[in-house]
């Protein structure tokens, strides 16, 4: 079974979704959880599951020592020898050198339908733009922020009475659904990166729900 490392900055809700998926058969093992914040609630979640954790405190590195933070983060990751690094609410922009080190081996989930609304405050920006559909994207990480090859996306309808909070809540539900699916595709060796596209070997008969691409099974 392949090892993965999960990077977090906060409560670890996507970490929990991945752990629950592993409990019911996702064929991966979380070897370690790494946080850039000592107070991240997801660290306690890792402890409850008996998973090793590390903190690489971003606040301990001044802006002119950003390379030092990335070196320390890489050392913590390599300690667990992961097949894949999973960013689950990890709120740091990674250097080009760091991304290149793990090229094709690092996934992220973003709360928008990329390439729309990269960066922060995606739900607010979606409402301000008046879009009819919003959602989330799992992608491989590239040197450009939120621009890596897309693995899977899920869509939610934007309602007339939506607030930033209500829209975020529905998108988060979809995040918890599609991240484990993307990880299963990785574990089953069904992903191929070609340029900036991901080719996915899928079961075309599978119908997990509307407005999800590609068609995946749980």
CA neighbours closer than 13 Å in the CB half-sphere of residue 58:
16
Number of other CB atoms surrounding residue 190 within 10 Å: 16
Q: Has 110 been annotated as catalytic?
A: yes
Residue tagged active-site, from 70, 110, 134, 139: 110
Buried b (16+ CB within 10 A) or exposed e, 197-211: ebebeeeeeeeeeee
Q: Which two tokens stand for residue 158?
A: 């934007």
Torsional sign, CA 5, 193, 151, 131: positive
- Asked if residues 32 and 47 have their Cβ atoms less than 8 Å apart, the reply is no
Give the list of residues 6+ apart from residue 33 with CB closer than 8 angstroms, or none.
Answer: 5, 6, 7, 8, 12, 15, 42, 43, 45, 46, 51, 52, 53, 54
Q: Nearest CA to 154 among 106, 187, 112?
A: 112
Q: Name 84's bridge partners.
A: 4
Query: Which residues are identified as catalytic?
Result: 110
């Amino acid at each position: 079974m392949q090892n993965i490392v999960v990077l977090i900055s906060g409560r670890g809700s996507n970490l929990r979704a991945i752990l629950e998926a592993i409990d019911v058969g996702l064929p991966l093992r979380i070897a370690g959880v790494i946080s850039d914040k000592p107070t991240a609630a997801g660290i306690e979640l890792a402890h409850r599951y008996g998973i090793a954790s590390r903190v690489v405190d971003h606040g301990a590195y001044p802006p002119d020592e950003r390379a030092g933070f990335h070196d320390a983060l890489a050392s913590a990751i390599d300690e667990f020898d992961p097949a894949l690094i999973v960013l689950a609410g990890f709120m740091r922009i990674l250097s080009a050198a760091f991304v290149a080190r793990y090229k094709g081996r690092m996934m992220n989930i973003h709360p928008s339908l990329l390439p729309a609304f990269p960066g922060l405050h995606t739900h607010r920006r979606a409402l301000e733009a008046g879009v009819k559909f919003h959602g989330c994207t799992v992608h491989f990480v590239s040197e450009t922020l939120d621009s890596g090859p897309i693995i899977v996306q899920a869509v939610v309808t934007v309602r007339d009475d939506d607030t930033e909070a209500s829209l975020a809540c529905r998108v988060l539900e979809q995040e918890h659904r599609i991240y484990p699916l993307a990880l299963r595709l990785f574990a089953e060796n069904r992903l191929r990166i070609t340029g900036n596209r991901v080719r996915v070997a899928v079961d075309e008969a599978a119908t997990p729900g509307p407005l999800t691409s590609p068609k995946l099974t749980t």
